[in-house]
Amino acid sequence: NTKVPLQRGRSLMDWIRLSKSGVDLRGTGSKPLQISMEELKKHDKPNDAWIAIRGYVFNITRYIEYHPGGESELMRGAGKDATSLFEEVHRWVNFESMLKSTFIGTLIQELPSRTIKKTPSSLTVPVGNLARTSNMISQFRNVLQLFQTDFRQNEDTICLHVDIVSITSNLSYTINLLHQVENTISVEKNQSIEIILKKSKRGLNWDNFGFLMQNRSFQTKFRPCTLVSKSNVTHDTLLLHFRFPDSTHMIPPIGAHVFFQTNVDGVVIRRPYTVAMPSITDGGYKIDSKNFYAVIKVYSTGALSNVFVNLNPGSEIPVGTYEMKFHLEMISSFKQVFMLAAGTGFTPMIRILHHCLFKTDKKVKLGLFNKQQRDILWKNDFETL
């Protein structure tokens, strides 16, 4: 984690306040400009920094101090089309909304010249992305075949059978169904997953299932999730139990985080939270596809904290599809696991710890650092363990 401590008065809330204050953060007037690459390049210094992301150009000079990843990280994108850099680090960050008041204009798309001559040494091939893309495409083909060939039907229902071979990233598929179905969906989960849909026209024989729409899996999709219950883990940390909407079944793998989204004074904010567990002691605990838990520390000046404090059981909050940087395979060959955590930094380790203790014969050691006794998450559970 490369998050840097921000100066006092440079929190997200402070940034929102500044951007709403009417202070001119553009320095170019309010009329959107058409900006060339040549012009953009000139603004690459901390006291004059522009950035282009997905075709939009922003003046980030004043934002630098507020950037949670620090000045040097943000400056890597200054004076450039930083789209791919941005996508690499945190494509979920809602920059359009956060930087709205610094928006200068759009980047003029330069047409590729026909006479580009590149020596092989100057060609850069994004190997990581290529591998990822081709992997996605092959998975996409598999699913396509699967949907076309592997469905069952009876008078009333259509049943789709999905085998999950490995979950390395989050893929979402949109299927254009051949015929109408009812607005109810049920999912059965044994070795594989079966999605059961009710035919609108009973007895109609479907020749096939339909066809797959364009794969849009890179987009984070937000769904309204319902808060089921809320309790305290410590004096300043909440355990929140959420339920996915009826049509959603999702099992975020160990190590995955989901995104919560909220609107603070008109600015859309997204934050990742690791999917947690209700307790660390229960060896029989099984995550299911309808419920998930999050452990959230409440900060008095936190932009999202207040949202969670004021969220009551029964209310909804948009939650985005999961993402992950940690994969269990990373530790599969180790016999011993040693974890170091500070405060709520322990949260991402809860499910890993639980998995190691109850599902493997790994030896686990945990060094847990806290400011005060009362800050220790699940203090009693640890004693039981």
Question: Does residue 103 interact with ligand HEM by CB under 6 A?
Answer: no
Q: Give me the least distance between CB of 233 and ligand HEM, in Å please.
A: 21
Q: Does 268 bind ligand HEM (CB under 6 A)?
A: no
Per CB under 6 A, the segment of 1-9, 114-122, 172-180, 223-231 that binds ligand HEM is 1-9
- CA nearest neighbour of 76 among 92, 90, 96: 90
In this chain, which stretch among 86-94, 102-110, 172-180, 280-288 interacts with ligand HEM, using CB under 6 A? 86-94
Q: Is 2 in the site for ligand HEM (CB under 6 A)?
A: yes
- Which of 1, 115, 121, 372 forms a contact with ligand HEM (CB under 6 A)? 1
Within 8 A by CB and 6+ apart from 148, the residues are 208, 209
Q: Confirm or reject binding of residue 98 to ligand HEM (CB under 6 A).
A: yes
Among residues 86, 244, 260, 378, the one that binds ligand HEM under rule CB under 6 A: 86
Q: Does 3 bind ligand HEM (CB under 6 A)?
A: yes
Min CB(230)–ligand HEM separation in Å:
22
Strands 256-264 and 210-212: unpaired
Tokens matching residue 315: 């209310």
The label of the residue with tokens 């002691």 reads: 281
Point out the residue whose Cβ comes nearest to ligand HEM: 69
Strands 181-189 and 256-264, bridge-based pairing: unpaired
State how far the Cα of 303 lies from the Cα of 310, in Å rounded to an integer.
12
Return the percent helix, strand and coil in the chain, to nearest 5.
25, 30, 45
Question: Could you tell me the smallest distance in angstroms from the CB atom of residue 63 to ligand HEM?
Answer: 6
Q: Judged by CB under 6 A, does residue 15 bind ligand HEM? A: no
Cα radius of gyration rounded to whole Å, the chain: 24
Does 46 engage in binding with ligand HEM (CB under 6 A)? no
Q: Using CB under 6 A, which of the segments 77-85, 238-246, 274-282, 332-340 binds ligand HEM?
A: 77-85
CA distance 240 to 26: 40
Of 74-82, 241-249, 294-302, 305-313, the segment contacting ligand HEM by CB under 6 A is 74-82
Q: What is the largest CA-CA distance in the chain?
A: 71
Which residue, 69, 83, 81, is CA-closest to 36? Answer: 81
Among 95, 273, 322, 378, binds ligand HEM (CB under 6 A): 95
For position 68 contacting ligand HEM by CB under 6 A, the verdict is: yes
Applying CB under 6 A, among 82, 225, 254, 294 the residue interacting with ligand HEM is 82
Q: Does 179 bind ligand HEM (CB under 6 A)?
A: no
| DSSP per-residue string spanning 56-90 | EEEE-TTTGGG-TT-HHHHHTTTTSB-HHHHHHHH
* Minimum distance of ligand HEM from residue 72's CB (angstroms): 9
The answer to whether 85 contacts ligand HEM (rule: CB under 6 A) is yes
Across 327-348, b (16+ Cβ under 10 Å) vs e yields: bbeebeeeeebeeebebbebbb
Q: How far is CA 185 from CA 203, 234, 319, in A?
A: 18, 38, 20
Binding positions for ligand HEM, rule: CB under 6 A: 1-3, 51, 60, 67-69, 73-74, 76-77, 82, 85-86, 89-90, 93, 95, 98-99, 271-272
